[in-house]
Amino acid sequence: MAVDAALPYDDQNIFARILRGEIPARKVHEDDWALAFHDINPQAPTHVLVIPKGAYVSWDDFSARASDAEIAGFVRAVGHVAREAGLVAPGYRLLANTGTDSHQEVPHLHVHIFAGRALGPMLAG
Ligand code: AMP
């Protein structure tokens, strides 16, 4: 179900639980600012999610409230994950669903990294 990105942060959301180690994830990277792990229902041969360590509902919340250090650390982590996976030359797509119309399902900011095949036109469905 899509979430309202304007709601307050819910610390029981599934990505908060992954950050606390309460449920497992197939981690690909972790640093002070971000955690990256494989999406449980991949939509491309490579489908990795990168989330900030801080409690932010969405891209909107993060861009408004996060510190400069958190924003820099998170953006660098996304780039690092893609580079380390060898995705720069073939190419990759980033997506951050925000709110109801985007069909955001998990109310903790996550950037999807899609790669591994020609990804086609930008919007579907
Ligand atoms: P979004 O629609 O942008 O909110 O995307 C949420 C994504 O989280 C979907 O692609 C789900 O497959 C993925 N997801 C949900 N639960 C898990 C989980 N426990 N581990 C990894 N990915 C998950």
pLDDT of residue 125: 57
How far apart, in Å, are the Cα atoms of 90 and each of 96, 114, 119? Answer: 21, 11, 11
- How many CB atoms within 10 Å of residue 58? 25
Q: Confirm if 58 and 2 have CB atoms less than 8 A apart.
A: no
The answer, yes or no, to whether any atom of ligand 1 lies below 6 A from the CB of 46, is: no
At 94 the pLDDT is 98
Question: How does DSSP assign 6-31, residue by residue?
Answer: TSPP-TTSHHHHHHTTSS---EEEE-
Q: pLDDT digits over 53-64, tens only? A: 999 999 999 999
Determine the pLDDT at residue 122: 82
Ligand 1 pocket test: which of 49, 50, 103, 110 has the largest number of ligand atoms within 8 Å of its C-beta?
A: 49
The 10s digit of each residue's pLDDT in 1-37 is: 898 888 999 999 999 999 999 999 999 999 999 999 9
User: Which residue matches tokens 């997506």?
Assistant: 95
CA–centroid distance, 97 to ligand 1, in Å, is 11
